[in-house]
Amino acid sequence: MNEVTQYKPSVLEPTLTLTDTARGHVLSYLSKKHGMRGIRFSVKKTGCSGLSYVIDYIEKSEKDDLVMKLANEYIIAVDNKSYPYLKGCQVDYVKQGLNHQFVFSNPNQTGQCGCGESFTVT
């Protein structure tokens, strides 16, 4: 008789990825901030298109966060409720003149407001 075994990954599949530039920026920042152990990504309802990205440096993840290893003792945490909006997202860190910002390449995004502060998904 054959048995069916359900596969359960031992490591969380990547929910979102950081470019080398973004990863370097985050690690540099975290190494200078005593007690900070990671970065947390989520979304909140706001703006004219509906959602905006939220980035927090954290000491530890929240109870329901999806957690991935960033490097050594550092982590990337994704808010569980925000997961459907961030799945497959790539985050970059861009410097343009005096401006520095995280830039999201999100396959779930179907539109954004004219000012670029918020986005929509279907």
Residue type, 86: L
Nearest to 90 by CA among 23, 43, 44: 23
Residue 107 is assigned to a structural domain of this protein: yes
96 assigned to some structural domain: yes
pLDDT tens digit string along 61-109?
A: 999 899 999 988 899 999 999 998 899 999 999 998 999 999 999 888 7
Interacting residues of 15 by C-beta distance below 8 A, sequence separation 6+? 66, 68, 76, 78, 83, 86, 87, 88, 89
Looking at the structure of the chain, the number of domains it has is: 1
pLDDT tens digits, residue range 30-40?
999 888 999 99
The answer to whether residue 89 sits within a structural domain is: yes
The answer to whether residues 43 and 51 touch, using CB atoms and an 8 Å cutoff, is yes
Domain annotation covers residue 11: no
7 lies in some domain: no
Determine the structural domain holding residue 34 and report its residue range.
Answer: 16-121
Does residue 41 lie within any of the structural domains? yes
pTM of the model: 0.81
Residue 6, domain member (yes or no) = no
CATH number (domain holding residue 85)? 2.60.300.12
